[in-house]
Structure 1
Amino acid sequence: MNITIDPGLSARGIPLHLAVLTYDVTVAPSPGLLVNTMDEAIRQRQEELMGEPASTDPVIAATRHAFKTFGKDPSRYRPSSEALTRRALTGKGIGPVNTVVDTGNIISLMTGLPVGAYDARWINGDVRCRIAGENETYDGIGRGAVNLGGLLVLSDADGPFGSPFSDSGRTAVTDTTENLAFVLYGLNVTEETVEAAAEFADSLISRFCVTEQGETQ
């Protein structure tokens, strides 16, 4: 997946680093080891934050600042990593879905970065990373219509399909997904932070999801 970043984003004063990992995958119910890994990740995050809200995590706080700078209220439109961490901290649980989704949740929970897992067969042409216009929407996974205005989005020839808030149903991972494009959104954090997160992501995805590794960008 070839991604270009809108040059106008640099004028906003927010560093942006995207890591894009591509794989050939098999999507299946998560094995016990992966479920246990999620449980351990939840416990670790609870211990790290010691009763403080998810928004105090430095990476999440930096992402929230980026949302606000772009024009989106992060208390109404929370970064996906914050929403996930809030569930972990409040004991609501993060139920298993499948190997790809659950692995992505662990990566986001442990790094604090929003991530996107996309079925590459539904991505049409080159991808542009930009700020969505006021009237742009898509059907979010489990959310219905999402107001994208002011959000950072990934957009192809058919329009936006992903964001660090909520991804679209159009490119959602399903049991028939074979080609995965996995994106880590590094908003207002260092390149080193994203590189370390990408290494962690690669190790976990390769362990639990990959049939034959594709290209890493």
Structure 2
Amino acid sequence: MLTVDPHPLLDTVAFEATFPKPLSEQPSPEWLVALLKLDAPAPLSADDAVRGAVRDLLRHGGFKPTGRSKPASEYLVRAAGDGTLGSINAAVDVCNAVSLHSGLPISVVDPERAKEPLRIGIAPADASYVFNASGQSIDLGGLLCLFDAEGPCANAVKDAQRTKTHAGTRRTLTVLWGTNALPGRTERAFTWYRELLERLGATVERRS
């Protein structure tokens, strides 16, 4: 079960995808890796208006989406521009491709590593979590997050290490962090996302 707290700007889509094989046995095909380039043909493209609207969404609860805490979608643009955005696994590569071109931050977690119930809401002032294998943490106060029974586990900046996908992952939960200041963009991004996943042989079930 996934519930979404009331929010004046949030326009989210959440869905589960089931892959035919563990991610370690399903490398990204060439057509998917090609989408990780800024000039790849895509049904959506981002601009300064999109970036500004996304930052406004994250800023609403008091979070400051700047510097190292800027939206993940902005990191992807920079990485694609300098040639460092490479393939990770099929699930993350689809996420990164859609986020790169839509301008919307997207979270992907392994639902087998998260504990129900799940909720989307704003993190309290003292919240934080570890976001990488090195043990680095991010302060989450005021930021929209996905929560499980143990606390925040994903957001539009950095997802928690404890619920990230891994070599054995076959099922993913994805959250598109869209805003109603960009009418229809979240749905268009989800439609393209579903098409890419189905091309990989995955099945998709919407959760919100």
TM-score, length of structure 1 as denominator length = 0.83
Give, in angstroms, the shift of residue 37 of structure 1. Answer: 2.8
How many Å apart are 1:43 and its aligned residue? 1.8
Q: SS in structure 2 opposite 1:153?
A: strand
Q: Is the 8 A contact 1:132 1:152 kept in 2?
A: yes
Q: Is the 8 A contact 1:103 1:208 kept in 2?
A: no
Q: Distance in 2 between matches of 1:209 and 1:115?
A: 21
Paired residues for 1:194-205 under 5 Å: 194-205=186-197
Partner of 1:16: 10
CA drift of 1:214 comes to 4.5
Secondary structure, aligned partner of 2:145: strand
Unaligned runs of 5+ in 2: none
* Superposition misfits of 4+ residues, deviation over 4 angstroms: none
Give 1:35's aligned residue.
33
AA in 2 matched with 1:5: V
Tell me the residue number matched to 2:107. Answer: 116
CA contact (8 A) 2:102 2:189 kept: yes
| Percent identity over paired residues | 30
CA distance in structure 2 between the partners assigned to 1:128 and 1:87 by the alignment: 30
For structure 1, the residue ranges without an aligned partner over 5 or more in a row are none
Q: Which of 153, 159, 164 is residue 151 of structure 2 equivalent to?
A: 159
Residue 58 of structure 1 and its aligned partner are, at CA, apart by: 2.0
| Structure 2 residue aligned with 1:184 | 176
- The reply to whether residue 5 of structure 1 matches residue 1 of structure 2 is no
CA distance in 1, matches of 2:128, 2:136: 10
Contact 1:22 1:182 survives alignment (8 Å): yes
Q: Normalised by the size of structure 2, how large is the TM-score?
A: 0.86
- Cα pair 1:99 1:209 within 8 Å, conserved: no
> Counterpart in 1 of 2:132?
141
* Residue in 2 that maps onto 1:96: 87
Aligned to 1:216: 206
Deviations 1:135-162 (A, max 9, x none): 1111113571111111111111111101
Deviation at 1:188, TM superposition (A): 4.4
Aligned equivalents of 1:3 and 1:60: distance in 2?
27
Q: Do the aligned partners of residues 184 and 108 (structure 1) sit closer, same or farther apart at CA in structure 2, a change above 3 Å counting?
A: same
Deviation string 1:21-47 (CA, Å, 9 cap, x unpaired) is 2121131322223222323xx2249xx
SS at match of 1:123: coil
Change (3 A) 1:115 1:30: same
Aligned partners of 1:160 and 1:67: how far apart in 2?
A: 15
Give the residue type in structure 2 aligned to 1:6. Answer: D
| TM-aligned CA distance change 1:209 to 1:191, over 3 Å | farther
Q: What is the identity, as a one-letter code, of the residue corresponding to 2:103?
A: G
Aligned with 1:43: secondary structure? coil
The equivalent residue for 1:125 is 116
Aligned amino acid, residue 159 of structure 1: G
Q: CA RMSD in A?
A: 2.2
Write out per-residue CA displacement over residues 3-35 of structure 1, whole angstroms, 9 at most, x where no aligned residue: 22223x34xxxx211111212113132222322
